[in-house]
Amino acid sequence: MSDDVLEGVVSTIARSATEIRQGLVGRRGKADTENPSGETQAEADVWADDVLAERLSAIDGVGEYASEERTAVLECGEGLSVAVDPLDGSSNLESNNAMGTVFAVYEEPLPAPGTAIVAAGYVLYGPITTMMYARDGRVTEYELGGGERTTVREDVTLPETPIVYGFGGRVPDWTDEFEAYAREIESELKLRYGGAMIGDVNQVLTYGGVFAYPGLEGRPEGKLRLQFEGNPIGYVVEAAGGRSSDGERSVLEVEPEGLHQRVPVHVGDGELIDRLEDRLE
Ligand code: AFP
């Protein structure tokens, strides 16, 4: 596996992130199209997907491009497979809140398990634009600007003392087991939930704690997509010394059934995830 290809993927996403952020202006409306998961797309979803597809598929050594916003895998030669959520939390664009771009590089054709990931990360469009990048068990944080990326933290590790939590889904739709777990956690930690997985997971990576979008009553598969959200975020949090779980095992060990399948996602402090699995048993 070539370092150059990975460097090409990461620098292309870092460079594009600055343009994507600028290009959100004037693209806050809804497109009249749906993504393969049946969700109405934002204009910005479609545009950001086109920008990233064009640039990432042009890299020598990238053989596949797939995204949460398009039905099929784009074949583009021989090499690694890049899976992207171009604008995670795009429903936050209307209210001008945090959003992200999520990516994972797999060394197997898609759909693939998280165990086939060789590198993953995300861009956070917060007050400033930052990137978390995980590879070979190490996580690095960069600040992005002017197409450049500046290292601000190396060996990012989940803080030992958990402080924050964020749980998705409506409380009435939580299973009794998950609700019991949530009641315990809310008496111990502070709530931080903004509706964009990337913003919420970055809170956990910065302050310690747990994020989850669980399986729901009537929707045991939850909401988040395995290839584009569950796997990349599981890979980053595990590389930072935390744990990921679909409720029973590491998200990275979930066998893929389809490109756009959903999976319950729980990530964060190892002890808190162990407790969750005990509760859901
Ligand atoms: P959008 O990309 O449609 O805004 O969804 C964001 C997301 O996939 C993930 O980032 C959030 O954690 C979750 O959905 C928010 O879902 P709820 O709106 O149900 O809280």
- Check residue 2 and give its pLDDT: 76
Tell me the best of 30, 45, 88, 260 to mutate to test the pocket of ligand 1, counting ligand atoms within 8 Å of each CB and taking the most.
Answer: 88
pLDDT tens profile 157-188: 999 999 999 999 999 999 999 999 999 999 99
- Check residue 31 and give its pLDDT: 94
- Check residue 1 and give its pLDDT: 59
Ligand 1 pocket list (CB less than 6 A): 39, 88-91, 168-169, 195-197, 213, 223-224
Q: Alpha-carbon torsion 16, 121, 112, 69, what sign?
A: negative
* pTM of the predicted model as reported, rounded to 2 decimal places: 0.97
Note the residue count of the chain.
281
Distance CA 122, CA 99 (A): 10
Distance CA 168, CA 244 (A): 16
Distance CA 122, CA 96 (A): 19
- The alpha-helical segments, DSSP class H, found in 104-249 are 176-186, 197-207, 231-239
How many of the other CB atoms lie within 10 Å of CB of 237?
Answer: 29
pLDDT tens profile 224-263: 999 999 999 999 999 999 999 999 999 999 999 999 999 9
Distance 79 CA to ligand 1 centre (A): 31
DSSP designation for 91: G
Tell me the best of 95, 200, 213 to mutate to test the pocket of ligand 1, counting ligand atoms within 8 Å of each CB and taking the most.
Answer: 213
Instruction: Give yes or no for a contact between 28 and 43, defined as CB atoms under 8 angstroms apart.
Output: yes
Distance CA 229, CA 216 (A): 17
- What's phi and psi for 121, nearest 5 deg? 180, -170
Distance CA 95, CA 90 (A): 10
Would you state the structure tokens that stand for residue 141, as one six-digit string?
């944080």
Distance 55 CA to ligand 1 centre (A): 26
- The DSSP H or E segment spanning 272 is helix 270-280
User: Residues in the chain with pLDDT < 70?
Assistant: 1
**Which residue minimizes the CA distance to atom 2 of ligand 1?**
89
Would you state the structure tokens that stand for residue 136, as one six-digit string?
């070979």
Distance 260 CA to ligand 1 centre (A): 15
- Considering the chain, what percentage of its residues have pLDDT values greater than 90? 98
Tell me the best of 87, 174, 223 to mutate to test the pocket of ligand 1, counting ligand atoms within 8 Å of each CB and taking the most.
Answer: 223
Distance 85 CA to ligand 1 centre (A): 11
**Which residue minimizes the CA distance to atom 19 of ligand 1?**
169
**Which residue minimizes the CA distance to atom 18 of ligand 1?**
195
Closest CA to 104 of 56, 40, 46: 56
